[in-house]
Amino acid sequence: MRGRGLSVCALCLVGLLVMAGSSGATTTGKKQRVMIEMKERKGWGTWELTTLTSGPITFDGGKYTWKMHSRTKGVIDGQGYERYAADVTYVGKTGTWVARETGRIVSASIGKSVVTGEWKILRGTDAYARVKGSGRLAAALGIVSPDPWRYEGFMVSP
């Protein structure tokens, strides 16, 4: 009987330690919904980050550049498309962040295209150090100049 009592006490102690470890000992970040609007020119662009929910990340903006990693063409249901992957570097007033962008470009008319895809933060500095984030993207190319792009999604700061 004595051995069983020790086992029950040990089990209770383990349970208390587990509860203490998960009840605030680790910090989870604040998840904020964000929108990044961009105006793209040949080789560079400007951007503005607007937060759609409250939290530590605030309005920012600046210039961006990108490096294309891959570009492939294909056809789905008779419609041609171009798939791409690029790393985009955003230099703002409060820090710099790099996102991996993957998307699909389809023709909407002669000289006009629509882009949809995803983005994910790879790394950041200053206010964006250790920030994680991802979401969806859309763009309309060749309709107005500069070309408008938009990210919407979430950023999580530590």
| pLDDT tens digits, one per residue of 67-110 | 999 999 999 999 999 999 999 999 999 999 999 999 999 999 89
pLDDT reported for residue 16: 35
Q: Which pair of tokens denotes residue 133?
A: 């984030």
Query: What span, in angstroms and rounded, lies between the C-alpha atoms of 37 and 120?
Result: 15
Mean pLDDT, residues 48-71: 97
Question: Which residue is it, tokens 């349970």?
Answer: 15
- pTM here? 0.80
Residue-wise burial string across 132-155, b where 16 or more C-beta atoms lie within 10 A, e elsewhere: bbebebebebeeeeebbbebebeb
* Confidence bin at 133 (pLDDT 50/70/90): very high
- % of the chain residues with pLDDT over 70: 82
